[in-house]
Amino acid sequence: IRLNQVGFYPNAAKVAVVVGEGNATKFFLKTADGAKTLYTGQLTDAKLTELSKKPTRVADFSGFSASGSYVLEVPGVGQSYPFEIKPQVHQDVAAAAIKGFYFQRTAIELPQKYAGKWHRPAGHPDTNVLVHPSAASAQRPVGTMISAPRGWYDAGDYNKYIVNSGITMGTLLSAYEEFPQFYQNQKLNIPESDNQVPDLLDESLWNLRWMLTMQDPSDGGVYHKLTNPVFDGMIMPDKATTPRYVVQKGTGAALNFAAVMAQASRVYKNFSKDFPGLSDSCLSAATRAWEWAQKNPNVAYDQDAINKSFDPDVTTGAYGDKDFSDEFLWAAAELYTTTQQDSYYKAVNMLPDAKMPLPSWAQVRLLGYYTLLRHRDQKGAAQKDLPEIRKRLLQFTDAMVAGATAGAYRTVMGRVKEDYVWGSSSVAANQGVALVQAYHLTGNKKYLQAALSNLDYLLGRNAVGYSFVTGFGEKSTMRPHHRPSIADDVAEPIPGLLSGGTNGNADKQDKCEGYTATSPDEMYLDADCSYASNEIAINWNAPLVYLAGALEALQQQ
Ligand code: 9MR
């Protein structure tokens, strides 16, 4: 019985999916101890799942709304995992997803007071980072050391990548811009919780300050990443002490950086008493990176080519995007919105084609559109395009709503094999983010319901029956490819982290042993060797933060 193992809002849809053959026609909602039946419902007729062709029947108990702890029982099948019905049922998930970033902090000890049983010494101070030969310049020749502390570990590995920080920061800062009141009131028990700044922004600042150090002051270019030459073993951060490098400046890094800094300048301006000068520094960093990208519009990060010319070889994550049209668009949208200067908007073709590509680290067009739509009252050059962008976004999200209604699992996510990429959980979460935008534009609750269906997916209503958020749900990810979670001596993984999830090619990519499934919707292994289906990453956690936070903020409506 597959369902959101955390639970349901009293007034929202409540759906479980029963997998497999069976004769039962009824299901029973019972108290958590199984003693008392409170609601009886009719299972739907069996329907085959789109990809694995398994029979499924749906138990819809949306009509039941009393708060409490429950299980669902289907005769001949058994009982579901326990779950709750109550207001604010995803409040803890929404908070833990941000706290997950705290646990990814480099360069600082995580004491018990904030980290509980996952406390650990500081790792990777990054105060003595070498300039890799691929990044050397007259001002910073080979052998130069720079200081680039703070930031978050990207994922299960210990490196820091500007491109992936781009979409991550953009998503987190957008969550704040959309729901400032909600975040103002949220407390996460992080070292900065006592100041007047929302914890989401305090946490994001940890990475923002690192990003600022990645700009070469002599020309405004931005290093692609800060990394060891090779991935560390599965050891704790403080035990991983090999030399670190900043590697080649590139267009993708410069534009991701420019977009984030422009947005940050706008967002942190409201907190200039707490962070004097920060907003201005961000804007000047953004404009310098933008100018660098104008002069260097096509410097792709090509790790193989770099390794042919320079030593040492670097074999860590590449994030090697080659098409920068969407990065130009996003950076232009942020710079235009922050400075209100039409010249940024006009510098880029903002409607290159009618596509609405779902955001990922390599594709950030919609981040630009979201920002333009969020600031739709702003006068300026974007006004003429906004009706078209709005129309396209709604076409895109209407298709998602239709998909959710039609699918065996009644989620937007997961009816087509293309959804099951490396990091598919972020596909589900980013679909949810798009749907929340559609709700903002229209006030139509069908979009929120569809967004919630994807949070249900992430928390258990999916073809493998796992909650992909560590620490949430009785059957949730326990052995993520995440070095601290594996190397520490705590049985439970660090909480609030989103596993990349089901990946139709995982068996070929990580070659971890133990895959038995062959259908793309079932290719998931809760094992730490399965980095292609069970790693965690900041760019996956960020849309989870957004989706869970947005649904919490909007649940009363
Ligand atoms: O998220 C990335 C995914 O889209 C790629 O297919 C994959 C292989 O290149 O890399 C993923 O990103 C990883 C990065 O390269 C290094 N840190 C961990 C990231 C998540 O697995």
- State pLDDT tens for residues 131-154: 999 999 999 999 999 999 999 999
- Please report how many Cα atoms fall inside a 13 Å half-sphere around the Cα of residue 547, on the Cβ side: 31
Residue 557: what pLDDT? 60
Closest ligand 1 atom number to CA of residue 157:
17
Q: Report d(CA 485, CA 550) in Å as an integer.
A: 28
Is this prediction's pTM over 0.95? yes
Which residue's CA is minimally distant from atom 6 of ligand 1? 422
- State pLDDT tens for residues 381-413: 999 999 999 999 999 999 999 999 889 999 999
- State pLDDT tens for residues 244-263: 999 999 999 999 999 999 99
Residue 556: is its pLDDT beyond 90?
no
Cα-based distances in Å from 212 to 281, 439, 535: 9, 34, 27
Residue 66: is its pLDDT beyond 80?
yes
Which residue's CA is minimally distant from atom 12 of ligand 1? 317
Query: Once rounded to an integer, what is the mean pLDDT over residues 447-464?
Result: 98
Backbone angles phi, psi at 311, to 5 degrees: -120, 155
Q: How far is the CA of 80 from the centre of ligand 1 (A)?
A: 34
Query: Once rounded to an integer, what is the mean pLDDT over residues 36-48?
Result: 97
Query: Once rounded to an integer, what is the mean pLDDT over residues 253-280?
Result: 98
Query: Once rounded to an integer, what is the mean pLDDT over residues 444-470?
Result: 98
Q: How far is the CA of 235 from the centre of ligand 1 (A)?
A: 19
Residue 520: what pLDDT? 98
Query: Once rounded to an integer, what is the mean pLDDT over residues 484-488?
Result: 98
Give the total residue count for the chain.
557
Domain formed by 91-384, architecture: Alpha/alpha barrel (1.50)
Give the residue from 455, 451, 500 showing the smallest Cα distance to 473: 455
* Average of per-residue pLDDT values in the chain: 97
Which residue's CA is minimally distant from atom 14 of ligand 1? 317
Query: Mind telling me the catalytic residues?
Result: 157, 481, 526, 535
- State pLDDT tens for residues 183-224: 999 999 999 999 999 999 999 999 999 999 999 999 999 999
Q: Report d(CA 207, CA 269) in Å as an integer.
A: 17
Please give all residues whose beta carbon lies within 6 A of any atom in ligand 1, as ranges.
Answer: 154-155, 157, 317, 319, 361, 422-423, 531, 535, 537
Query: Once rounded to an integer, what is the mean pLDDT over residues 419-423?
Result: 98
Q: Report d(CA 460, CA 197) in Å as an integer.
A: 34
Residue 343: is its pLDDT beyond 90?
yes
Q: How far is the CA of 299 from the centre of ligand 1 (A)?
A: 20
Pick from 152, 157, 512 the residue to mutate for probing ligand 1's pocket: most ligand atoms within 8 Å of its CB: 157
Cα-based distances in Å from 132 to 143, 218, 301: 8, 16, 14
Q: How far is the CA of 157 from the centre of ligand 1 (A)?
A: 10
Which residue's CA is minimally distant from atom 5 of ligand 1? 422
Q: Report d(CA 64, CA 86) in Å as an integer.
A: 11
Residue 231: what pLDDT? 97
Percent of the chain with pLDDT over 70: 100
Q: How far is the CA of 339 from the centre of ligand 1 (A)?
A: 33
Query: Once rounded to an integer, what is the mean pLDDT over residues 311-331?
Result: 98
Domain extents in the chain: 91-384
The two tokens of residue 68 are 């409490």
Reading across the β-sheet that carries 55-60, which strands appear in turn? 15-19, 55-60, 47-48
